[in-house]
Amino acid sequence: EDKVVQSPLSLVVHEGDTVTLNCSYEVTNFRSLLWYKQEKKAPTFLFMLTSSGIEKKSGRLSSILDKKELFSILNITATQTGDSAIYLCAVGGQAGTALIFGKGTTLSVSS
């Protein structure tokens, strides 16, 4: 059975800290791994990863995929209170199939 496992499930840090969120997966016909940030409404897209070892960066966020070990990490440096959200990891399989989501990591950044 396909599955996506995120850890930790929740995390509380202080502003300025660096955090690493983990995502491991077991999915047949893997095509891509995606990270989303969800605040009050629908998830907003962060990264899509398809190749191992290539870091993707966007400001203070970065992510990398290891297709051999079947995991990805999402790093957030110099965290801010606005980073508080649920971070969802999802894996896409065959074309035309839905994403499989992990349970998410709830990040709380205190000032």
Partner 1 sequence: GAVVSQHPSWVICKSGTSVKIECRSLDFQATTMFWYRQFPKQSLMLMATSNEGSKATYEQGVEKDKFLINHASLTLSTLTVTSAHPEDSSFYICSARQDANYGYTFGSGTRLTVV
Segment near partner 1 (CB under 8 A), from 16-24, 26-34, 51-59, 71-79?
Answer: 26-34
Tell me how far, at minimum, the Cβ of 33 lies from partner 1, in Å.
Answer: 10
Tell me how far, at minimum, the Cβ of 81 lies from partner 1, in Å.
Answer: 20
- In angstroms, the CA 7 to CA 81 distance is 20
SS3 83: helix
Tell me how far, at minimum, the Cβ of 53 lies from partner 1, in Å.
Answer: 20
Residue 99 binds partner 1, judged by CB under 8 A: yes
Residue 90 binds partner 1, judged by CB under 8 A: yes
**Cβ contacts of 16 within 8 Å, gap of 6 or more:** 78, 79
Residue 27 binds partner 1, judged by CB under 8 A: no
- Maximum pairwise Cα distance, the chain: 43
**Cβ contacts of 26 within 8 Å, gap of 6 or more:** 2, 3, 70
Using CB under 8 A as the criterion, which residues of the chain lie in contact with partner 1 when the complex forms?
31-32, 34, 36, 41-45, 48, 88, 90, 92, 95-104, 106
